[in-house]
Structure 1
Amino acid sequence: MQRWMFFLPLIGLVAATAVIGLSMGRKAALRSDETEVITRIAALYVEQAGPGAAETDCTARLATSEALWLVVTCAPEGRAGRTYYIDRFGEVAHVDAPG
């Protein structure tokens, strides 16, 4: 076996690490701004909650967890609502819904 073949696993590991790093960096660089994410989540809430739901039912705050970015709470007056936990890439990581 030739000597350079011993380095193939190392080359593969370095290449895989580079691909994963570039992918994660691209996601972070293309992350939406807060307003865009909150608007998208409010529209999702209206779609899921049905009649009587409005985008103005939603408020947002920064998350206290390191794995999350925002917490969007959508609740109409006097009723239980939904809480959307948004990760650092602007995607819904978890939803707390009544029932």
Structure 2
Amino acid sequence: MGLRARIFAPLVALILCAGVLGWLLGVRSVTPGETEVINRMAALYVEEGGRATDCAARPAASDGLWLVVRCGCAEAEAAREYFVDDFGRLAHRRAKGAVAAC
């Protein structure tokens, strides 16, 4: 093995390792889109007995939260609210009354 290969082989290996590590960390930090988050929260509502078409989202007013997905009838006594954090995860759930048909 020549002198040039002894110098550049570890450098190339280090650059490749850094690239792979950067790619892995980047893939893990990608957040889902709004539609995907709303669909996931609607699926939770369907498990509770509601219909997915009864859900809508709005931006959250609190720090650390991204969306509030509200499912249920327009009446406040029969609604579910799902608070979603900046990474698309369910942070909190608030239920008002039983799931009712709208």
Same fold (TM over 0.5): yes
Q: Which residue of 2 aligns with 1:69?
A: 66
Which stretch has the larger CA shift, 33-42 or 70-79? 70-79
Q: Which residue of 1 aligns with 2:79?
A: 81
**CA–CA separation in structure 2 for the residues paired with 1:42 and 1:84:** 9
Unaligned runs of 5+ in 1: 1-21
- 2:65 maps to a residue whose letter is L
Deviation of 1:65 after TM superposition, in Å, equals 1.2
**CA–CA separation in structure 2 for the residues paired with 1:46 and 1:94:** 17
Unaligned runs of 5+ in 2: 1-23, 98-102
SS in 2 for 1:41: helix
Q: Which residue of 2 aligns with 1:56?
A: 53
**CA–CA separation in structure 2 for the residues paired with 1:40 and 1:95:** 13
Q: 1:68 to 1:77 in 2, by over 3 A?
A: closer
**Structure-2-length-normalised TM-score:** 0.62
Deviation of 1:37 after TM superposition, in Å, equals 0.4
Deviation of 1:77 after TM superposition, in Å, equals 5.3
Which stretch has the larger CA shift, 78-87 or 66-75? 78-87
Deviation of 1:92 after TM superposition, in Å, equals 0.7
**CA–CA separation in structure 2 for the residues paired with 1:26 and 1:69:** 20
**Structure-1-length-normalised TM-score:** 0.64
Q: Which residue of 1 aligns with 2:34?
A: 34
Task: Write the deviation string for residues 18-72 of structure 1: whole angstroms up to 9, x where unpaired.
Answer: xxxx97x765x31100000001110111102x2xx21111010011112100000
**CA–CA separation in structure 1 for the residues paired with 2:44 and 2:80:** 11
CA RMSD of superposed structures (Å):
2.0
Higher radius of gyration, 1 or 2: 2
